[in-house]
A and B are shown apart, each in its own frame.
Chain A
Amino acid sequence: MSGVQISVEGLNRSFGGVSAVQDVSFTVGTSEIHGLCGHNGAGKSTVVKMLSGQLAPDSGRIVIGGQPVVLGSRQAAQRLGVALVDQELSVVPELTVRDNLLLGDFRAPLLNRRRAAIARCRQVLSDMRLDRIRPQQPLSELSIGERQLVEVARALSQNARLVILDEPTATLSDVETEHVFTAIRRVAAQGCSVIFVSHRLSEVLELCDTVTVLRDGHKIATTPASELTVGNLIVQMLGEVPHRLTAARAPDPRPGHSLRIERLHVPGRLTDFSLTAQAGRVYALAGQLGSGASDVLRALAGLHPQATGTVELRDRAVPFRSPVGAARAGVAFASNDRKSEGLFLDEPIAANLLATRLPTLARAGVLSPRCEHQVARSLAELVGIADHRLGEPAAVLSGGNQQKVFVGRSLGRDDVYALLLDEPTRGVDIGGRAAIHRLLRAAADAGLIVLFASTELEELLELGDVIITMRETRMVARYEGGADGVVLMRDMTRGERTA
């Protein structure tokens, strides 16, 4: 490490009066690999967006190579030597590998883009042991992991002064991850600065020279990686470690119904998941994107037709390869994608509350408006929405109220035995979150099996009677009572290579 190449000084940014990043400063030297860590909502993404020209800071400045710069757009940032690998794939499957590698590279000449650029791409591909990928190959022939590698290769091939990698390994296998690391080390050795953002803490410690930790928009510390362990990194990230406040519920001694999942398997997404869930308790699946936590729920709801295994609810087999079969067996599912896979936004709130229970309200397929209205009103009261709003379209509600309607849709039915929720409070304010947690607890108390997936420690600890941690498509561990945030975090983020 020699000389400061990138320097971030007193960055501030707020959204609608809520501060997302406050007075963040750090420097990255030439050839330095700098880790950026923080829990959900710590401000990592905002910092990355400001450094890559996607967001303008409210105040503070960014200095590259001694020059204060204004990064007005991603193009402007690229011109100043900043390359970004985004969380979401931004490669085009229809194009060839070569065209993807040249995509958005303004230095590639319009005509005769071949020679120099191709040579550079080949170099990077072979650095990453990707010689098996031919430049002429359409990207659609590659696996998701390989596509991610191509995206990383694109950023690394741009001769940038700063390469930012935002969760580049979330979807990669160990071997692929190693190849990416080799390529990153190589560009760093050539004098490039690297900022590496990841949830996988052991990887951060393995790869990075220095680690900056953010929490609630503030910088907590910048520490040489050699002085850090996964344990104290987690403490920096979480601050006061959240512990469970209420004791976990004791298992209900009554022989209620149960949900037995045996060796549930979804190719590439979930590996041999087994669990027996009892009525009256809340089961939390803790896992980051790609851990398989939400795939457990989706498979049970019939949304993974290629899933295999055995699922029994109340000692009857659940036909979990179709959503209709799963619903008929008594499984109700709330997706994490409320807008496109959840609510019927242009339909009235009343229609949304009743959407999945119409057959239970009908006599011989015929509905009575009177009975519908009664049920809609009692559900509105249950979820806390004024009944004069029942005729308004669901789209006008706030995110929190939409989520209440979404959850309320599955409550108060005597043909539902298991309630599955993927990220039940995503995009919901604190008040709404508490209300939804109360609804779910009440549902469990009323004898439902409640199973939810979440990435938020507070939510997992507050709501889960049993917490199951997941990582890389597999279950890691199961906790009943006495779980603490550090342990969950370690399980979810690959604290150690062997769990």
Chain B
Amino acid sequence: MTAANNDHSPVMAAARDYPGGQASADTVRPTPTSAAGAAGRFLLWRGTDPLDIGIVIVVLAVIVTGALTTRFFSVANARAILASTSWVGITAIGATVVMIAGSAVSLAVSQTATVVAMIFLATQQFGLAAAIVLALLSGVAITALQGAVIGFWTANPIVLTIAAGFAIGGVATWISGGTTVYPQVVRFNGLNDTPLGLPLAVYILLALTAAAQWFLRRTTAGRHMYLIGENPRAARAAGVPVGRVTVIAWAIFGACIALTGVFLAAFNTSANAGLGGTLSLDAIAAVLAGGTAIGGGKGSALRTLGGALLISAISDLLLLRGFSTGIQLLVKGLLVGFVVIAVHVSSTRGRR
């Protein structure tokens, strides 16, 4: 059904005859603007938030400190920051979708990425395309299954993904026999290319961000995710297919994790049980640093890209100024803590 049909529906026509309805609609009638401009105006509201002031301050601090640090503002360093953002960033885009849809976080990301990397390496002999497809399918299947348990049976995502993480890690160790998986043939060298001096993963991250942004704002499923995250009881009562939409969100997350797994495998050319590292927590940190709300209903893929870049930039800055890895981790923790508190303050202020 299109909008034009809707406008002619009998209820609309009937209501227009009421003097009351007419009067209040006439009192404020802004000068006609282009429909697209007006649409942009009402969709923009979500973006303006007192929290952004805090983020802008952090970004300014990074820029000022960066200007005082030799080699921070250089093309080579910018490339380094982008490159170090790409793997975590790809997973974080998926984590954003799940967090917006109200399923909080997954703590099984590292293990899933590891298993996918192993599958990718073990299936090299079928060709690169087949290996990528198999890797994606397994990532989607493993993660969407968890989403189904969360969406249809309202399982607690944190508890469930801790359990799933152990199970997936166990299966990975069992099948690989606890050793490192090597490919029989290597067909993935193309994935390590650096067109225009940037790793392929950076382009994938940018494309994925744009696609996720569009999906969340412009599709029925994406918009349902905001509603479910904002008020799951109301979404259920309104007949929004909560279970199905939750599964879609987790399936997208699974595809993103799988992509990260593929790039990890291609870069390392082998995979062992520890390959995923701290990917689970790094992805969560990037999403939170961007200002997406842990409780769901607010946030965007663009914000997460910003959050991931900010964390990378700060780590890079600290590295250039000679701080230890410990200090880098500490600052990352402080940044995430700061943003989470700011999000909480700004959202409780909005709700009276």
C-alpha spacing A383/B238, complex, angstroms: 19
Q: A340-B233, A414-B9 are in contact. Are A395 and B351 (CB under 8 A)?
A: yes
Interface residues in A363-419 (C-beta closer than 8 Å to B): 365-367, 369-376, 378, 380-388, 390-393, 395, 409, 411-415
Selected contact of B9 from candidates A358, A365, A412, CB within 8 Å: A412
Selected contact of B2 from candidates A356, A371, A373, CB within 8 Å: A371
Residue of A nearest to B36 (CB): A370
Chain B residues contacting A369 (CB-CB under 8 Å) are 36, 39-40, 43, 218
Q: A327-B239, A370-B39 are in contact. Are A341 and B25 (CB under 8 A)?
A: no
> Which stretch of B223-231, B304-312, B327-335 is in the interface?
B223-231
> Which stretch of B16-24, B164-172, B281-289 is in the interface?
B16-24
> Are A446 and B9 closer than 8 Å at their CB atoms?
yes
Residue of A nearest to B18 (CB): A438
A266 within 8 A of B: no
> Are B12 and A412 closer than 8 Å at their CB atoms?
yes
> Are A372 and B39 closer than 8 Å at their CB atoms?
yes
Selected contact of A393 from candidates B28, B40, B45, CB within 8 Å: B45
> Which stretch of A37-45, A203-211, A343-351, A462-470 is in the interface?
A343-351
A335 within 8 A of B: yes
> Are B237 and A414 closer than 8 Å at their CB atoms?
no
Chain A residues contacting B44 (CB-CB under 8 Å) are 391
> Are B237 and A382 closer than 8 Å at their CB atoms?
no
Residues of B in contact, count (CB < 8 Å): 61
Residues of A in contact, count (CB < 8 Å): 72
What 0/1 pattern do residues 438 to 456 of A give for CB contact below 8 A with B?
A: 1100110111100000000
> Are B6 and A373 closer than 8 Å at their CB atoms?
no
A362 within 8 A of B: yes
Selected contact of A348 from candidates B11, B27, B30, B45, CB within 8 Å: B45
Selected contact of A435 from candidates B20, B30, B240, CB within 8 Å: B20
Centre residue among B12, B40, B242 by max chain A CB count within 10 A: B12
> Are A382 and B350 closer than 8 Å at their CB atoms?
no
C-alpha spacing A48/B15, complex, angstroms: 43
> Are A323 and B237 closer than 8 Å at their CB atoms?
yes
> Are B219 and A366 closer than 8 Å at their CB atoms?
yes
Residue of A nearest to B23 (CB): A384
Interface residues in B125-153 (C-beta closer than 8 Å to A): none
A81 within 8 A of B: no
Residue of B nearest to A347 (CB): B230
Selected contact of B25 from candidates A343, A346, A362, A384, CB within 8 Å: A384
Q: A395-B352, A412-B11, A446-B14 are in contact. Are A323 and B3 (CB under 8 A)?
A: no
> Are A358 and B42 closer than 8 Å at their CB atoms?
no
A119 within 8 A of B: no
Chain B residues contacting A324 (CB-CB under 8 Å) are 239-242
> Are B24 and A384 closer than 8 Å at their CB atoms?
yes
C-alpha spacing A324/B231, complex, angstroms: 16
A302 within 8 A of B: yes
> Are B239 and A326 closer than 8 Å at their CB atoms?
yes
What 0/1 pattern do residues 231 to 271 of B give for CB contact below 8 A with A?
A: 10111111111100000000000000000000000000000
Chain A residues contacting B11 (CB-CB under 8 Å) are 382, 411-412, 442-443, 446, 448
B5 within 8 A of A: yes
> Are B239 and A365 closer than 8 Å at their CB atoms?
no
Q: How many Å from the CB of B129 to the closest CB on chain A?
A: 26
Chain A residues contacting B21 (CB-CB under 8 Å) are 381-384, 435, 438
Q: How many Å from the CB of B144 to the closest CB on chain A?
A: 18
Residue of B nearest to A298 (CB): B237
A130 within 8 A of B: no
Q: A340-B234, A346-B351, A381-B16 are in contact. Are A412 and B240 (CB under 8 A)?
A: no
Selected contact of B218 from candidates A366, A374, A447, CB within 8 Å: A366
> Are B38 and A365 closer than 8 Å at their CB atoms?
no
Chain A residues contacting B29 (CB-CB under 8 Å) are 386-387
A187 within 8 A of B: no
Chain A residues contacting B13 (CB-CB under 8 Å) are 446
Q: A358-B224, A376-B42 are in contact. Are A386 and B25 (CB under 8 A)?
A: yes
Q: How many Å from the CB of B246 to the closest CB on chain A?
A: 12
C-alpha spacing A361/B42, complex, angstroms: 17
B221 within 8 A of A: yes
Chain A residues contacting B4 (CB-CB under 8 Å) are 374
Q: How many Å from the CB of B39 to the closest CB on chain A?
A: 4
Selected contact of B24 from candidates A303, A348, A374, A386, CB within 8 Å: A386
A355 within 8 A of B: yes
B157 within 8 A of A: no
C-alpha spacing A358/B26, complex, angstroms: 27
Chain B residues contacting A340 (CB-CB under 8 Å) are 231, 233-234
Q: How many Å from the CB of B178 to the closest CB on chain A?
A: 44
A342 within 8 A of B: yes
Interface residues in A461-498 (C-beta closer than 8 Å to B): none
Centre residue among B223, B230, B237 by max chain A CB count within 10 A: B237
Selected contact of B12 from candidates A303, A355, A382, CB within 8 Å: A382
> Are A388 and B30 closer than 8 Å at their CB atoms?
yes
C-alpha spacing A302/B235, complex, angstroms: 13
Selected contact of A367 from candidates B218, B227, B297, B351, CB within 8 Å: B218
C-alpha spacing A449/B206, complex, angstroms: 50
> Are B234 and A341 closer than 8 Å at their CB atoms?
yes
Chain B residues contacting A350 (CB-CB under 8 Å) are 42
Selected contact of B28 from candidates A326, A362, A388, CB within 8 Å: A388
* Sample of 9 more A-B contacts, CB < 8 Å, known A371-B2, A386-B27, A386-B29: A341-B233, A347-B230, A358-B224, A360-B6, A370-B36, A371-B3, A388-B28, A390-B42, A442-B15
18 A-B residue pairs with CB within 8 Å: A323-B239, A327-B239, A342-B237, A344-B227, A346-B298, A346-B351, A359-B220, A365-B220, A365-B221, A367-B218, A369-B40, A372-B39, A375-B6, A378-B3, A378-B6, A391-B41, A442-B11, A446-B13
| Residues on B facing A (Cβ under 8 Å) | 1-7, 9-16, 18, 20-21, 24-25, 27-30, 35-36, 38-46, 218-221, 223-224, 226-227, 230-231, 233-242, 297-298, 347, 350-352
Per CB-CB distance, the 3 closest pairs between chain A and chain B, nearest first, are A327-B239, A391-B42, A446-B10
| Residues on A facing B (Cβ under 8 Å) | 301-303, 323-324, 326-328, 331-333, 335, 340-348, 350-351, 355-356, 358-362, 365-367, 369-376, 378, 380-388, 390-393, 395, 409, 411-415, 434-435, 438-439, 442-443, 445-448
